[in-house]
Amino acid sequence: MGKVKLCEGLKNKYIIPCFQREYSWGEEEIEELIKNILNTKNDENYCLGIITVKVNKNNKMLIDGQQRLTTLYMIAIYCGYIEKVEEINLESEYDLILNEQSNNLKKIFSMTSNDNEFDKLPPNLKIAWKIIKNKISDADKEKIKEKIKNNLYYYEINLDDKVNINHYFEVMNSRGIQLSRSDIIKSFLMNRLDDDIDKSRLNYLWYNLEKMNNTLDDIKSFKEVNKKNNVKYLTINNIISQKNNFNTSYQIEQNNKDYDNSILNFEYFLLYSIRIYKNKDKKNYDSSGEFNLEDLIKEYKDEFIHKNSEEIIEYLNFLISIKKIYDKYIVKYDKIKDTWQLDINNEKIKLIQSCLRVSFINRRLMHWIYITLKYVYNNKDINEYVNFMEKYIKEKYIKNFINDNKDNNYRTGFDTPVIVLNYLDYLMKINYKKVIESIPESKDIEFEKFTFKFRNSIEHFMPRTDENGEPNEDWVDNFGNLALLAYGTNTKMQNANPLEKATHFKYNLSGYSIKLQIMTKIALDGGWNKDKSTKLTRKCINLLDEDLKLK
């Protein structure tokens, strides 16, 4: 904790983070602060209290103390201590996101020479400014200027990197409710709409978009959105209030389903959507790297900071279209029924998407969803989608796997991409007759019953270590010795020998991957060894390679 003279503190760059509420001091707090400053004798120092910050590069995030510091800035402006607009160093992160020129303290400074600026202030600051003018006489202005220069100080606490600033703020200020990134984007877009009815439409639309498990059946375009819930200007307090108390009489009657969760939450959906919007006219389906939520606000700000109301509405219509595509053409997992669900009746699409879904768990890496949404948005013929996605998987994953592992005879071990093992199961299911011809042990496997599950742990059928904990031969890393299991099953079985595993798996054989079912059949039919693993490796790679060569 360090002691900071106010005259020096006003030179510091402080940023008020988005999760804080708006300025809310009233007459009692402002009057008490002014009285305490004026009552300070010339030979005394007066402590203004404690502010809490977290240093972020060249700025200080103001975690606690924004009400006091904002008021001190207004007092300093009114009394003439601040002589240039450049001397105002307190910024709101929220204002920076909305518009680089929207700093309200700078508006107050401009207002001293231009009364028209007064109408541009939010109501809370208008009230505070009037109170300050009423409580500080012209004679007191010079006294306060001297106090700021010589007598006033505060203590600054700097939080270290281990402290979660959102949690800290909630503990320090029970009124604090963190704003989500989607809340900020909502306000950002709303305040670029000209018509109050359109602002109301956006508010209502956003409320329904946030419920990702539900569909937008009753909303076909932005102008059709229910407009009864009137909102003229969405402030931070409006957002917080509405998050906790939305008028449910205006809810759309939704088609609620038993899906465990939408694959994407709303913020990820917004990120995927803005990426598609920015690239919608490009034939390239590259999804521009990872989907990192830290980029979400910046991407919306960069795209729409200079857009007008009509362009915002154009995007909102686009967003409605993408959500409808997401609802209809993206597979969902019904946890209660333990089945995959798709709104259209197409088993091939369901199969390939469930293959992709269980292969990529991290939402930052679900490029297939981006590609699917963009494909459907740009194409009329959904019947070509499966071929399109097969080609995407082969070009992006299978080709590299085949080419990169020829020299080591596909001894890939834990480096084997999950998508390669899942896509192999996909090929085996749709080409089961060819599999039976190549691998006679598979003839009794019920291929039609196979479904993709969340199996993401690489299983070595012959374990990597023997019963004494000594490493087995390096052939155990052969592709043929590998399969996918759920993490819990793999943990229980990882040190068992192949026959023990096969005996365990046979009692629920159809519940495992097709490749593991085949390995189990082979092991039960005559054991498992290097030769059998090598032969299965060759047959699996041939199946992948033949598919790769298909047009």
Does residue 246 have a pLDDT over 80? no
Of the two residues 311 and 259, the one the predictor is more confident about is: 311
Q: What is the reported pLDDT for 411?
A: 95
Same domain membership, residue 454 and residue 374 = no
Question: What pLDDT score was predicted for residue 516?
Answer: 95
pLDDT score recorded for residue 536: 96
- pLDDT given at position 494: 66
Q: Of the candidates 355, 379, 403, which is a domain's last residue? A: 379
* Two tokens, residue 91: 């910024």
pLDDT at 240 over 80: no
Distance separating alpha carbons of residues 130 and 53, to the nearest angstrom: 29
User: How would you label 469-489 residue by residue, b for 16+ Cβ within 10 Å and e otherwise?
Assistant: eeeeeebbbbbbbbbbbeeeb
- Rounded distance, CA 420 to CA 414, Å? 12
Sorted by sequence, the CB contacts under 8 Å of residue 282 that are 6+ apart come out as none
In terms of domains, do 466 and 372 share one? Answer: no
Q: Is the pLDDT of residue 250 over 50?
A: no
Let me know whether 457 and 544 are in one domain. Answer: yes
Q: Between these two residues, 521 and 491, which has the higher pLDDT value? A: 521
Residues 241 and 207 sit within 8 Å (Cβ to Cβ): no
**Looking at the structure, do residues 258 and 159 belong to the same domain, yes or no?**
no
Residue 27 has pLDDT above 50, yes or no: yes
Eight-class DSSP state of 291: -
How far apart CA 273 and CA 315 sit, in angstroms, is 10
Instruction: Identify the weakest region by mean pLDDT among 54-68, 261-275, 311-325.
Output: 54-68
Question: Does one domain contain both 413 and 273?
Answer: no
CB 73 within 8 A of CB 27: no
Please state, in angstroms and rounded to a whole number, the distance separating the CA atoms of residues 200 and 233.
Answer: 9
CB 301 within 8 A of CB 247: no
Q: Give CA angle at 398 (394, 403), nearest 5°.
A: 125
Q: Does the pLDDT of residue 262 top 50, yes or no? A: yes
Specify if 388 maps to a domain. Answer: no
Residues 6+ apart with CB under 8 A from 126: 118
Which residue, of 172, 191, 218, is where some domain finishes? 172
Range of the domain at 120: 2-172
Which tokens belong to 543? 């199946």
* Helix%, strand%, coil% for the chain, nearest 5: 55, 10, 35
- Dump the DSSP string for 479-530: GGGEEEE-HHHHHHHTTS-HHHHHHHHGGGGGGS-HHHHHHHHHHHHH---H
Mean pLDDT of the chain: 84
Residues 441 and 315 in one domain: no
pLDDT reported for residue 252: 31
Question: How far is residue 396's CA from residue 400's CA, in Å, rounded to a whole number?
Answer: 7
Q: With helix as H, strand as E and coil as C, how does 127-156 read?
A: HHHHHHHHHCCHHHHHHHHHHHHHCEEEEE
* Rounded Cα–Cα distance for residues 44 and 223 (Å): 63
Look up residue 189 and give its two tokens. Answer: 């877009």
* Domain membership flag for residue 385: no
Tokens of 486: 């759920």
Range ranked top by mean pLDDT from 68-77, 196-205, 207-216? 68-77
Q: So what's the pLDDT on residue 145?
A: 93
Which amino acid is present at 363?
R
DSSP string, 59-121: EEEEEE-HHHHHHHHHHHHHTT---SGGG--EEEHHHHHH-TT--HHHHHHHHTT-GGGGGGS
Cα atoms found within 13 Å of the Cα of residue 326, Cβ hemisphere only: 26
Cα 201 from Cα 512, distance rounded (Å) = 48
Q: Which is more confident, 161 or 401? A: 401
What average pLDDT does this structure show over 532-541? 96
Report the share of the chain in percent with pLDDT over 90: 46
Q: What's the CA gap between 74 and 128, in Å, rounded? A: 9
In a domain, 321, yes or no: yes
**Average pLDDT rounded to a whole number, residues 29-36:** 90
Question: Beta-carbon neighbour count of residue 551 at 10 Å?
Answer: 4
Q: Which residues are registered as beta bridge partners of 154? A: 4
Poorest-pLDDT segment among 160-164, 288-292, 312-316, 504-508: 160-164
Is position 307 within any domain?
yes
131 and 192 fall within a common domain? no
Are residues 321 and 186 both part of a single domain? yes
Claim to verify: residue 408 and residue 451 sit in the same structural domain: yes
Structural domain count of the chain: 3
126 and 69 co-located in one domain: yes
Asked if residue 177 belongs to a domain, the reply is: no
* Average pLDDT estimate for 122-150: 90
Q: How would you classify the pairing of strands 2-5 and 152-158? A: antiparallel
pLDDT digits 0-9 by tens, 170-191: 444 444 445 677 887 888 888 8
Examine the domain organization and report whether 425 and 349 are in the same domain.
no
**Which ranges in 330-462 belong to alpha helices (H)?**
347-359, 367-378, 385-393, 399-404, 418-430, 432-438
Q: So what's the pLDDT on residue 447?
A: 95
Report if residue 514 sits inside a domain. yes
Q: Are residues 194 and 267 in the same domain?
A: yes
| CB proximity list for 118: less than 8 A, separation 6 or greater | 111, 126, 129
462 found inside a domain: yes
Is 14 part of any domain? yes
Domain boundary among 353, 379, 405: 379
